[in-house]
Structure 1
Amino acid sequence: MAPTDDSVSQALRAIEIEDGVVTRPASTWTPTVHAFLRHLRSQGLTCVPEPLGIEGGVERLALIEGDAGGAGWQHQHSYDGLRSAARLLRTIHDASAGWQPPVGATFRAPHVVAGSEPSVWCHGDVGPWNVVWRDHEAVGLIDWDFLHQGPPLDDVAYALQWFAPTRDDDMALTWHHFPAVPDRAARIRVFLDAYGDGLPDFDVAETVALRMEATMALELSLANEGVEPQRTWVDEGSQEWAAGEVRWVRDNAHLFELSP
């Protein structure tokens, strides 16, 4: 889910870091996430947290050193940072493909039908705030609460919303902290080139807009179940705000066209 400054602050207050160990509240899906992270790390990936255990409603993870959260935005402004985030996502997708969830696995986010694409295990919340950065290079991907199965494009479309970004000029400057309005189409090309082959041809604006609407639907579902912070976000008008963002993407599709 996309964070606001307040929601990031709420999340950070629930997380404690001490002696290289991150502790945060565990949920019903946490054992499934830990099993998935162990699978990736068994293949030699150090770009996801090492799960250390769950006890008393608290999960423990080894800290990946670097900038994340609000400190992560600046690192992806450069094309080098952008490329490194795309390569990191591709590495994880490739390593995830053969994972079989444990019996009784619980997921917070619904799976997405892949169609003709091969399925991978998607992060579901790929934004600069959930990437760990060192010297403008993506070295880790954290916060796997929205783990689900789906086509790679599900994660890629979500990422493009935040890394391009597919947002208006004011948001690009004030929320994403770009020093000048970025060339969104150029950044999308850089991200997709770095991610590599295997993605189907797709209309960027419509695919991103549909992924945004899926995010809205999940947020509303969680809010209706009384889950926080989604319930508060919806009460404060997040659905109406997000619908306006979706309209902006469709109305400005020309900004995301990939042809030269």
Structure 2
Amino acid sequence: MDELSAMGQADRAAQVNAMHRPVVIAGEVVTRPSSAGTPTVHSFLRHLRAKGLDCVPEPIDVSDGVERLVYLEGESGGDSWYHQHTDEGLVSAARLLRRIHDAALDWEPPGDALWGAPAVAGTELVLCHGDPGPWNFVWREHEAVGLLDWDYLHPAPRIDDVAYALQWFAPTRSDALALEWHHFPEVPDRRHRIHTFLEAYGDLPDVDVVDALIARMQSTADLVRRLAESGQEPQRTWVDDGALDRSAAEISWVREHRAQLF
């Protein structure tokens, strides 16, 4: 499949996601379908809010298969790409992610906690968002001020979230996708953007960043495969539309362009 077809598939994936996980915003209240792990997420968010972090949604309740949260004002979703083109936006997202990771270190998960993605073994585990792409940040004037959609909350080393973010913020994807999918006006300096994000996040363990990227991309594909095999949507439709083949091609691209990234 060529890259233009892949971009069409991305639009299709977004439509499927919206169909299966509809979000309703009424005034200051956001209503979303809940999952078995939603109570764990709400406990986590309440902990962060109690520590003064107003950059995550304030939970209201969970009932009858839906969760309700207080709306965080700003732009997210498809409007996010333009805010993170600048170094200012890039730095603000990295610092916000670091602030959340650090604030969660003293959270005690409930005894019946359920994670949205498999826990990852390692040293100095934090609570990872699991999906910190630009679309899940809330933006105001090129500054990241919030982080939404904690469905994939799980314990993991910091690099788990950071590597995922780099894939989409750098982005570690082809020139065509950077221009057409991420809406950059010209091909970005990925090496500069990766170093800028890492420096702003700060004080990461010494790891091979490109290897961490590849490992995180593969674990994302593996999770999509498992969810699809269990019949979960929208992952089942994504896989039917060729998502795993596209993921394999993007991992190959990172391997082939290692020298351009770090």
* Equivalent residues of 2:228, 2:239 under 8 A apart: yes
User: Which residue in 2 is equivalent to 1:223?
Assistant: 228
1:127 to 124, 133, 141: 133
Distance 2:67 2:14 in 1: 19
Q: Give CA deviations for 1:4-39 in whole Å, capped at 9, x if unaligned.
A: 323333444500001111001111111111010001
Distance 1:204 1:106 in 2: 29
Distance 2:92 2:213 in 1: 21
User: Which residue in 1 is equivalent to 2:5?
Assistant: none
Length-normalised TM-score, structure 1: 0.94
Pick which of 100-109 and 236-245 moved more.
100-109
* Equivalent residues of 2:16, 2:237 under 8 A apart: no
In the TM superposition, residue 167 of structure 1 has moved relative to its aligned partner by 0.5
Distance 2:74 2:217 in 1: 28
* Equivalent residues of 1:29, 1:145 under 8 A apart: yes
In the TM superposition, residue 101 of structure 1 has moved relative to its aligned partner by 1.1
Distance 1:166 1:93 in 2: 23
Distance 1:85 1:7 in 2: 24
Distance 2:16 2:48 in 1: 29
2:117 to 93, 109, 113: 109
Aligned residues: 252
Corresponding letter in the other structure for 1:149: P
Distance 2:236 2:16 in 1: 14
Which consecutive residues of structure 2, in runs of 5 or more, have no partner in the other structure? Answer: 1-8
User: Which residue in 2 is equivalent to 1:175?
Assistant: 181
2:43 to 35, 38, 42: 35
User: Which residue in 2 is equivalent to 1:49?
Assistant: 57
Spell out structure 1 runs of 4+ moving beyond 3 A: 9-13
Please tell me whether residue 66 in structure 1 is matched to residue 71 in structure 2. no
Pick which of 9-18 and 170-179 moved more.
9-18
Q: Secondary structure at the match of 2:121?
A: coil
Distance 1:222 1:51 in 2: 26
In the TM superposition, residue 235 of structure 1 has moved relative to its aligned partner by 1.4
Q: What's the C-alpha RMSD, in Å, of the aligned pairs?
A: 1.1
Please tell me whether residue 137 in structure 1 is matched to residue 143 in structure 2. yes
Q: Give CA deviations for 1:206-228 in whole Å, capped at 9, x if unaligned.
A: 21011000000100010111000
Length-normalised TM-score, structure 2: 0.94
User: Which residue in 2 is equivalent to 1:256?
Assistant: 261
Q: Give CA deviations for 1:129-159 in whole Å, capped at 9, x if unaligned.
A: 0000000000000000000001100000000
User: Which residue in 2 is equivalent to 1:147?
Assistant: 153
Q: Secondary structure at the match of 1:4?
A: helix
Corresponding letter in the other structure for 1:47: C
In the TM superposition, residue 56 of structure 1 has moved relative to its aligned partner by 1.2
Distance 1:207 1:243 in 2: 15
* Equivalent residues of 1:8, 1:69 under 8 A apart: no
Please tell me whether residue 205 in structure 1 is matched to residue 213 in structure 2. no
Distance 2:30 2:153 in 1: 19
Which consecutive residues of structure 1, in runs of 5 or more, have no partner in the other structure? Answer: none
* Equivalent residues of 2:221, 2:244 under 8 A apart: yes
Distance 2:234 2:28 in 1: 27
